[in-house]
Structures are given as structure tokens and as C-alpha cells.
Amino acid sequence: MIVHNDFPEDLESLPEYLSTWITPNDAFFVRQHLPRPRTSAETHKVEVGGLAANKLSLSIADLRKLPQVSVPAVLECAGNGRSYFRPKMPGLQWTKGAIGNAEWRGPRLADILAKARASTKAQFADFDGLDVGVGKTPDFIRSIPMRKLQHPSTILALDMNGVPLPDLHGGPVRLVVPGWDGASWVKWVSRIELADKMHTGFYMNPAYRYPKNPVAPGSAAKPEDLDVLEGMAVKSFFARPADQTKVQLGTPVTLTGPAWAGEHNVARVDVSTDGGATWKTASLSAQGREFSWRIWKSEWRPAKPGYYTLCCRATDTAGRTQPIEPAWNPSGYLWNAVDRVGVLVEG
Amino acid sequence: MRRLIVLAAAVASASSLLGAADAALIERGKAEEKRCVGCHSLTIIGSQRLSKTGWERELDKMVRWGSDIKDREALMAYLVATYGDGKPMPKPTLSADASASK
């Protein structure tokens, strides 16, 4: 892993671990806003309150008694790729790997909200985890609108890739909001508060907001011109070959990596071996469940020695495609430029 | 001519004194940086490349969040001199298992 921060842990996956449909837990990126709390599956409780007729206090055993669903889904940090923006901005300097695809399993939020008899006045649920800030660092609380919470794939995950959710990844229980930025996937969930308005804390405003209209690079955006981030961008990148790889002429080279599109589906991935002058369509792994990624692949036989710039570009079912230059924004969110790697073919 | 030499020597000496003062300030800032570890490691600081204005904004945020900065002038001098926006990006820090696989 690339270590961006030892404490709290902010760890990035290396691209070579991102060429398979499932990202192993040990290679899955970690993003902690606040120090990891101490809790356990035996003692942990999730309180449900606010605009609900039936207040709940659920243990992990209670949550496991509810119907369980499996949701393979991509988790990506909103700031993945931030290090590529110019001018630079503060924040974790992620490259490609603040992303992974895992199979999450647990009860649906819709079932929990029904059990709590959520009021029709409730528009949002505020999710708080056991993590707390040092000093006056704001608590990490995220509001999710009811329309997303009622989606059958929005769950409280108790398992990740077939094992109890590791505490490094928010165990024993984290929110899974498929297709949305990682900041929505609250870890160590301990309180769900139903409310008629969005929470006003730092992590809803100004954090995790994106300009409604593009702003000039390096300029500020007025608070009223920012919206809460929700669905993620269409994106693909090279897991292999690594940038600046050397290969021998005559050896076929496998170009491969993941492609995903937030709440949409990937329609195709095109690759170029001449810096984007010409493109050909890559093969795609079978369409899995929505919200998970697909692995694209293309075989390349370089015709002559020299230095090549390889590019990949995904297009989704909504007609979105990766741009040459993503919109610069003050917090460095949603980097999804056409990915490029350089390869030297030796004769 | 002699006057010119004396003047040049005086300027060099002043600039060296100034250099020494800057170096001392930056050294004090490096010591001040260690106070940040109550909330986060120093690795994340070393990965940033920000302008003076950018670093001022970051320190303002940290103060709002409860950071007790004793010597802000020295810390700013250190951050801008070491992690200013013109400095090259650092090599990534790899965990032991990732380093072993390279």
C-alpha cells in the first residue's frame, strides 16, 4: 500500500491489485477522517432515533437476524486522483488507487427504517460513527436522503468479501451507499438520526461539495455555488502495464484495468496505443451487478521498437465519457481524465 | 576599488547572517511541526505542496480545529521552505509488504 498517513490510517492500493473483479480486503484502500475507534461485534450498538415512531437499539446479532443481501459495489474516495490536478490543492494526494470493488453483505436500510417506523416527514438520515475528532475537529456525520436509503442496494454492511467487516474498514458495521462517493459510506455506524433537514456539520458543508458550474483553475467557489456530491464519474485506468514499463519487441502485452460509472453502467472502454490518435474497443468482463466494476482487456503487439503512450477511456450508459481534462475544483474531487501510461518497447 | 570590496564583503556577511537567521527559523519550525502528531502523522504534511497562502489557510483550519501552534512564524517558514508549491513531489511511501514486492 502507499502510506499517505500513518495516523489516522490513509492507505492507497497499488494499481497491480486492481486488475481483478474483487479487491482483496488486505489490499483495499483505507481512508480515515478521524482516529479509528475501539469497538467490538459483541458490544457494538446502532441506535435509530429522530423522526421515527419506534426508536431502536440494535446489536450486531440483531442486524444479522434481518434479511441479508449481498451487494458487490465499488467504493471510491471522492478525492481519488487529486494529486493530478493543477494547481494543486491540500488534501490526501491520492493517485489511482483510492478505490476498490468488494462484495458487501448485511441488512437493507429500507428494512431498518420500516422497523423504526420512520415518519413521512423524514427527508434525511444522519449517520454518525463511533469515531470522534481530536481537539475541536468536527465529528464525522453524513446525511443521506431517504430516496437513496430506500434503494434495495443501500445496506449496513456486516461482511466484506465473505468475512466479518474488518475494523480498519469500519467493522463491525458500515453504511454502503452504492454509486456514491466514499464519504457517504460511514464507518463504525453507531447512530442513525432521522431528520427533516440535511445535517449542517463540516462534513456536509463545506466538505464534499462540488461546483454546480466549472470554476477557473485556482479560483474559489462561493458556498451557494456548490452542491453536495452524490453519484460518481465514469472512469477507467490501467492496472497493467505500469507506467514506464519496458517490454521486448515480439512479446504480446496485456492491457487491462477496471472501469466503473457510479450509479450508471459502463457501456464500453476504448484503448489507444498511439497517444489517442486512434482507438480500438477493449473487451469487457461480464456485466455484473449494477454499482460494481468491470474489467476491460486488450492485447497489444507493438509493431516496432520505441516509446508508446497508451490511453484508456470509458463511456457509460448515460453517454458520459472520460474527458482529457476533468473540471478543476477547489477540493480536488472526481478526477477521471483519460488514463495514460508510457511503455518503452525495446528491439 | 577598495571601497567596493569592503562593501561587497559587508553585503555578503549580512546575507550570510540573514541566511543563518532563516535557517534558525526553519529549524525552529521543524521542531514546531512535531506538535502536529497529536492529531495526525507528519507523512501527510510531507505529501502536500502548497503556496504560502495555501499553508496559511491550512494552519487557520488547524487552529479552528484546536491545534495549539506556539510558533506560527517559524512553522510557516519551515512549511513554505520545505513543502512549498515549487518543490518536487516526494516519492510515495510504501508499506513494508508493498516495498517487499517491488
The enclosing domain of A172 has a CATH number of: 3.90.420.10
Domains identified in chain B, total number: 1
At B4 the pLDDT is: 55
In a domain, B72, yes or no: yes
The pLDDT of residue B20 is 81
Q: Which residues of B26-43 are buried (b: 16+ CB within 10 A; e: fewer)?
A: bebbbebbeebeebbbee
Do A173 and A132 lie in one domain? The reply is: yes
Residue B11 clears pLDDT 70, i.e. is over it: no
In a domain, B49, yes or no: yes
pLDDT at A88 over 70: yes
Does the beta carbon of B97 lie under 8 angstroms from any beta carbon of chain A? yes
Residue in chain B nearest A138 by alpha carbon: B65
Among B35, B37, B41, B62, the residue to mutate for chain A (most A Cβ within 10 A): B41
H helices of A202-294, in order, are none
- Is A163 in the same domain as A291? no
The residue out of A228, A253, A275 marking a domain boundary is A228
pLDDT digits (tens, 9 = 90+) for A231-247: 999 999 999 999 999 99
Whether residues A252 and A290 share a domain: the answer is yes
Query: Does A3 sit within 8 Å of B95, measured CB to CB?
Result: yes
The pLDDT of residue A98 is: 98
State whether A193 and A243 are in the same domain: no
CA dist list (Å): A345 to A247, A256, A298, A338, B55: 5, 18, 17, 22, 43
Average pLDDT, chain A: 97
C-beta of residue A22 within 8 angstroms of C-beta of residue A102: yes
Q: What is the predicted pLDDT for the residue at A286? A: 87
Mean pLDDT score, A261-287: 96
CATH code, A261? 2.60.40.650
Please report residues of A whose CB lies closer than 8 A to that of B89. 83, 93
Beta strand A280-281 pairing with A141-145: unpaired
Q: What is the pLDDT of residue B8?
A: 55
**Taking 80 as the threshold, does the pLDDT of residue B15 lie above it?**
no
- Residue-level pLDDT at B100: 54
Angle between helices B72-83 and B2-33 (to 10 degrees): 100
Same domain, A28 and A173: yes
Tell me the nearest-neighbour CA distance from A149 into chain B, angstroms.
31
Mean pLDDT of B43-52: 96
Q: Classify residue B96: in a domain, yes or no.
A: no
User: Is the same domain home to A222 and A240?
Assistant: no
Cβ–Cβ under 8 Å, residues B47 and A4: yes
Which of the listed residues A208, A228, A248 is the one where a domain comes to its end? A228
Question: In this structure, are A59 and A107 located in the same domain?
Answer: yes
pLDDT at position B97: 77
* pLDDT tens digits for range A14-57: 999 999 999 999 999 999 999 999 999 999 999 999 999 999 99
What is the domain range of residue A299?
235-346
For residue A298, with 0-12 CB atoms within 10 Å meaning exposed, 13-18 middle and 19 or more buried, which class applies?
A: buried
Domain span holding position B38: 2-85
Mean pLDDT across B14-33: 83
> Which helix H or strand E contains A246, and what residues bound it?
strand A245-248
Looking at this predicted complex, what is its ipTM? 0.89
Q: Which helix (H) or strand (E) segment is B78 a member of?
A: helix B72-83
- Mean pLDDT for A308-333 is 98
Q: Which residues of B touch A92 (CB under 8 A)?
A: 44, 47
Report the SS3 class of residue A111.
helix
| B49 CA: distance to closest CA in chain A (Å) | 7
What confidence tens digit (pLDDT) does each residue in A119-143 have?
A: 999 999 999 999 999 999 999 999 9
What SS3 class is residue A118? strand
**A136 and B64 in contact by Cβ < 8 A?**
yes
Classify residue B76: in a domain, yes or no.
Answer: yes
Report CB contact under 8 Å: A2, B37: no
Nearest to B94 among A3, A133, A134 (CB): A3
**Whether residue A136 sits in one domain with residue A47:** yes
Mean pLDDT of B2-13: 54
Q: How many domains does chain A have?
A: 2
Cβ of B41 and A83 within 8 Å?
no
Boundary of a domain, candidates A211, A228, A245: A228
* pLDDT score at B17: 57
Quote the minimal CA–CA distance from B65 to chain A in Å.
4
